[in-house]
Amino acid sequence: MSNMTKKFSFRSLLVFTAFGLALAGCGGGGNNGTNNAGGTNAAGNAANAAAGNESAPKPAVELLNVSYDPTRELYDAYNKLFIDYWKTEHNQDVTIKQSHGGSGKQSRAVIDGIKADVVTLALGYDIDAIAEKGLVNEDWQQKFENNSSPYTSTIVFLVRKGNPKGIKDWGDLVKDDVSVITPNPKTSGGARWNYLAAWGYALKQSGGDEQKAQAFVGDLFKNVPVLDSGARGSTTTFVERGIGDVLLAWENEAYLSVNELGKDKFEIVYPSISILAEPPVAVVDKVVDDKGTREVAEGYLDFLYTEEAQKVIAENYYRPQLTSVAEQYKDRFPELELLTIDNDFGGWKEAQTKHFADGGIFDQIYTPGS
């Protein structure tokens, strides 16, 4: 963070003098001061970490976590927990900055130079893209437990209260009178999971006939009246605009919608089969080495696997990895058959090229004249 904050406040300072503006009327204040303090402190920390001094209170440090959209509430809660933990265990103040956006967009921001210490994204594919540019070590997926995925999730159906269309499983989604809401798999990471879950179901039903699976997802997307560009856009279309009979959503998003936007209006339906989504995390090696924040960045991700953190994860409707916590919250997360990207789709790279790249199977659904 040090370079960036320094630069930032330096520029602001320049601006102030250049235009002779006191900015008195702009409200608030002191933000600049904090930024400056953060800058020097982080620099100090680099030296300190090298010395490995444990006894004296360490200077404050700042982390930037670049994450995807649905994790806002999770990391809001988790950051508080981690800051307390790090303060007591390591006697060091940490401030954590968050950046959220579509997973692909966030990954591009890291590639283009945002100084993220850690990335917590929706798909391994997006971190692979960062690794390809050498910012993250190639073996990132082995650095933390469970393929570097401290939590998992799955795709479920959100339907209107009472389930008027009687939607029970994927097969119901291709009926003529059912209207399905999902974001566009080309622009939304979450939507790719939706699509692949549907594909997996159809493949299983037809005993592995890809032709039939393609026809099935084609029929499904013919029932989609609005293709929003992101997962939250779709939720708004379904919840606020009242369009569609069923929303394909992350499990945690579905719970969040029910809790935040109306328990009496929606209910969640678990299909017979879905997909195991493993949102991965990684330390951005190049950035933490430049900034000297490796210790705290790794601590930040390691701590995700502890019991306390896993509870926060479960509270936010992500499926915990730790068996003890999973046991505790098992009523919340019904068991269902889950396909995995690696076993059933040959990994993200293959799934991406086959289904979502230009001219891939998804594009063929929307070929003119079809």
Helix, strand, coil % over all residues of the chain, rounded to 5: 55, 15, 30
Q: Least Å distance between CB 179 and other proteins?
A: 12
CB 9 within 8 A of CB 35: yes
Spatial separation of the C-alpha atoms in residues 38 and 85, rounded to whole Å: 20
Does position 336 interact with other proteins (CB under 8 A)? The reply is no
- Closest contact distance (angstroms) between CB of 349 and other proteins is 12
**CA angle, 235 then 252 then 190, to 5°:** 60
**Count of other CB atoms within 10 angstroms of residue 309:** 22
CB of 137 to other proteins, least distance (A): 17
Rounded CA-CA distance 67/224 in Å is 28
Give the shortest CB-115-to-other proteins separation in angstroms.
7
Region 17-56 residues binding other proteins, contact defined as CB under 8 A:
19, 21, 23, 26-28, 31, 35
* Contact mark string toward other proteins, 116..135, x via CB under 8 A: -------------x---x--
103/141 with CB nearer other proteins: 103
The residue type at 276: L
Please report how close the Cβ of residue 323 comes to other proteins at its closest, in angstroms.
31
Does 232 help bind other proteins (rule: CB under 8 A)?
yes
Residues 158/199, Cβ–Cβ less than 8 Å: no
Q: Which of 119, 180, 196, 227 binds other proteins (CB under 8 A)?
A: 227
State in angstroms the smallest separation of the CB of 26 from other proteins: 5
Give the residue, chosen from 115, 160, 291, 311, that forms a contact with other proteins under the rule CB under 8 A.
115
Both tokens assigned to 1: 């963070």
Quick one: which segment of 169-177, 230-238, 334-342, 343-351 binds other proteins (CB under 8 A)? 230-238
From start to end of 9-57, where are the E strands?
none
Q: How far apart are CA 35 and CA 4, in angstroms?
A: 10
CA 302 to CA 315: how far, in whole Å?
19
- Under the criterion CB under 8 A, does residue 263 sit at the interface with other proteins? no
**Spatial separation of the C-alpha atoms in residues 370 and 356, rounded to whole Å:** 18
CA distance 173 to 218: 11
- How far apart are alpha carbons 118 and 300 in whole angstroms? 9
Closest C-alpha to 73, from 233, 261, 256:
256
**By CB under 8 A, residue 190 contacts other proteins:** no
DSSP secondary structure letters along 100-131: EE-HHHHHHHHHTT---SEEE-S-HHHHHHHH
Contact between 108 and other proteins per CB under 8 A: yes
Binding mask 282-321 for other proteins (x = CB under 8 A): ----------------------------------------
Q: Is 261 in the site for other proteins (CB under 8 A)?
A: yes
- Comparing CB distances to other proteins, the nearer of 14 and 336 is 14
Nearer to other proteins, 186 or 311 (CB): 186
Structure token pair of residue 277: 């989504």
Nearest CB to other proteins, comparing residues 203 and 312: 312
Rg (CA), the chain: 23
For other proteins, which stretch binds (CB under 8 A), given 93-101, 157-165, 291-299, 315-323?
Answer: 93-101
Q: How many CB atoms lie within 10 A of CB 166?
A: 12
Applying the rule CB under 8 A, the residues between 73 and 92 that interact with other proteins are 73
Count other Cβ atoms within 10 Å, centred on residue 91.
Answer: 12
Residue 251 near other proteins by CB under 8 A: no
Please say which residue, 196 or 273, places its beta carbon nearer to other proteins: 196
Give the residues lining the site for other proteins (CB under 8 A): 3-4, 7-8, 11-12, 15, 19, 21, 23, 26-28, 31, 35, 64, 66, 69, 72-73, 97-102, 104-105, 108-109, 111-115, 129, 133, 184, 186-187, 224-230, 232-233, 235-236, 240-243, 256-257, 260-261, 352, 356-358, 363, 366-368
